[in-house]
């Protein structure tokens, strides 16, 4: 399938995901594809990441495991696309539905919106419970501004790797590319940690995930800037770009800091800084240190509004490129 057809399907998938999201009724009956990816990753983890192996051997096993997993993802994507190709327009619609499954526009906005709703209706305890579902930091260490910052950071980071990156990989490489990206991203979340268990075995997955997310993280800056322009005007556009360029590299991740800095500039608030994970303090510089130091529930709501505008811009860009290629 040539790239213009990929773009047409991507536009349909983005629209479907925007308004339908993840159908819970379906995943209560069937395993989500990412769950299947996770089971495949767990198989390699159990069999090739044995504790009694030396670090060098575990690193080698991790490299070979991720190569095998990505090769399997390519084959699965190629087979799925080939099968759907026999069904004409029906196959195109089904493929659009399949692509939508791997996007996270509505589900991400809904989860972050739950934090706002919980803070308003249940106070700090409710906000902590809601934010604990989407971030890994210790919720009991967060005050209300900390809960709001955590929700906004999650929204910005996951815009890049949950919306922009899968859309980009599908647009360029079709279903094989989308499956490869999601396999790699899932592997990074499962085994790409710097813990004693995964520092060697997950090394290749973490490094490859950094490479795979590099383009989307930079593109997300422009999309968030466009969203900020639509919702807050020209000054927000300039602040978004300025803070993203200046502070995007302050994050420990080579990619996550880019959309987080862009969102910090769009909302003119401070993000990142010291955080607590599993009882350990992770000390990082504050992104947009000159911005407001108190994040509020209204900032969470504004972030969601900018996020949705950025998603709209992504859909419009995909459609415009499709028309140009025609």
pLDDT computed for residue 318 by the predictor: 96
pLDDT at 201 over 70: yes
CB 183 within 8 A of CB 168: no
In this prediction, residue 278 has a pLDDT band, given cuts at 50, 70 and 90, of: low
Q: What is the pLDDT of residues 1-16, one digit of tens each?
A: 567 889 999 999 999 9
Q: What is the pLDDT of residues 58-105, one digit of tens each?
A: 999 999 999 999 999 999 999 999 999 999 899 999 999 999 999 999
Q: What distances in angstroms separate CA 215 from CA 160, 187, 212, 258, 315, one per listed residue? A: 9, 19, 7, 11, 17
- Strands (E) across 126-216 are located at none
Instruction: State pTM to two decimals.
Output: 0.94
CB 269 within 8 A of CB 288: yes
pLDDT computed for residue 97 by the predictor: 95
Number of other CB atoms surrounding residue 33 within 10 Å: 18
pLDDT at 299 over 70: yes
Q: What are phi and psi of 272, to 5 degrees?
A: 65, -135
In this prediction, residue 258 has a pLDDT band, given cuts at 50, 70 and 90, of: very high
Number of other CB atoms surrounding residue 249 within 10 Å: 14
pLDDT computed for residue 276 by the predictor: 73
Q: Which pair of structure tokens corresponds to residue 245? A: 């360029």
Percentage of residues of the chain with pLDDT beyond 70: 98
Strands 280-282 and 275-277: antiparallel
What is d(CA 103, CA 137) in angstroms, rounded to the nearest whole number?
24
In this prediction, residue 25 has a pLDDT band, given cuts at 50, 70 and 90, of: confident
Q: What is the pLDDT of residues 27-63, one digit of tens each?
A: 788 888 999 999 999 999 999 999 899 999 999 999 9
| Average model confidence (pLDDT) across the chain | 93
pLDDT computed for residue 28 by the predictor: 82
What is d(CA 292, CA 267) in angstroms, rounded to the nearest whole number?
9
In this prediction, residue 279 has a pLDDT band, given cuts at 50, 70 and 90, of: low
């Amino acid at each position: 399938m040539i790239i213009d057809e990929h773009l047409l399907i991507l536009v349909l998938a983005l629209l479907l995901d925007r308004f339908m999201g993840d159908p819970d009724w379906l995943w209560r009956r069937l395993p989500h594809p990412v769950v299947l990816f996770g089971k495949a990753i767990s198989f390699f983890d159990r069999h090739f990441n044995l504790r009694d192996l030396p670090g060098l051997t575990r690193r080698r096993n991790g490299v070979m495991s991720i190569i095998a997993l990505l090769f399997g993802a390519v084959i699965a994507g190629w087979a799925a696309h080939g099968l759907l190709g026999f069904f004409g327009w029906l196959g195109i619609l089904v493929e659009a539905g399949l692509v939508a499954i791997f996007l996270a526009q509505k589900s991400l906005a809904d989860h972050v919106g739950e934090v706002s709703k919980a803070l308003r209706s249940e106070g700090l305890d409710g906000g902590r419970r809601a934010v604990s579902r989407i971030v890994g930091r210790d919720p009991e260490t967060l005050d209300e501004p900390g809960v709001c910052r955590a929700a906004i950071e999650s929204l910005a980071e996951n815009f890049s790797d949950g919306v922009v990156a899968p859309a980009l990989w599908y647009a360029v490489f079709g279903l094989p590319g989308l499956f490869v990206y999601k396999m790699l991203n899932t592997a990074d979340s499962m085994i790409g940690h710097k813990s004693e268990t995964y520092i060697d075995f997950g090394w290749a997955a973490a490094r490859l995930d950094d490479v795979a997310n590099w383009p989307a993280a930079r593109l997300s800056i422009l999309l968030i800037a466009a969203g900020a322009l639509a919702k807050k005007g020209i000054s927000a556009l300039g602040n978004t770009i300025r803070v993203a360029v200046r502070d995007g590299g302050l994050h420990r991740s080579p990619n996550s800091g880019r959309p987080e800095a862009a969102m910090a500039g769009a909302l003119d608030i401070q993000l990142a800084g010291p955080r607590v994970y599993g009882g350990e303090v992770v000390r990082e510089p504050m992104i947009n240190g000159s911005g407001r130091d108190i994040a509020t529930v209204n900032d969470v709501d504004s972030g969601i509004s900018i996020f949705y505008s950025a998603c709209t811009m992504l859909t419009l860009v995909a459609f415009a490129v499709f028309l140009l290629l025609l």
